[in-house]
Homo-oligomer: A and B are copies of this chain.
Amino acid sequence: MKQKSTNPDFLNGVPELVGLELLSQRPMYGYELVQAIRAGSGEVLTFGEGCIYPLLHKLEERGVLASRRIDVSGRSRVVYRVTPRGRKQQAQSLDHWSQIVTAVSRILQGGKDEHARIAS
């Protein structure tokens, strides 16, 4: 009926937000981050590698992330960490996110207890 394989609702920018958060908690490599998002969100946020890898590259170009290549048992991993500039960006993203969530909530709850809202 309605199949929207791309640009799903409400997910725009979310990979960057949660990615920065998780990487600021602990440096990770791409493949690890993909699963960390999946697990950390209770299987709700399931961004594929085709979304995460380009994102990591873009954030590194911007100086938000920095990478370091390491070898573990003959396997190459690219570990990303958040830079000082990334911290600022993260704080801004977080603020932006909560602003939107607050604004949407305000509208969604505008229908209920209209009197209480006006009275207060």
User: What residues of chain A have their CB less than 8 Å away from a CB belonging to chain B?
Assistant: 2, 7-14, 16-18, 21-22, 24-25, 37, 40-42, 44-45, 62, 93-94, 96-97, 99-104, 106-108, 110-111
Contacts and interface: CB of A to CB of B under 8 A. Distances in A.
B108 A14 contact: no
Q: Chain A contact residues: over half helix, strand or loop, or mixed? A: helix
Contacts of A2: 62
Count of identical protomers in the assembly: 2
Contact of A111 (B7, B9, B25, B102): B25
Contacts of A13: 8-10, 12
Q: What 10 pairs across the A-B complex have the smallest Cβ distances?
A: A9-B13, A12-B12, A44-B103, A41-B103, A10-B100, A40-B107, A18-B107, A25-B111, A10-B13, A45-B103
A19 to B, nearest CB: 10
B14 A104 contact: yes
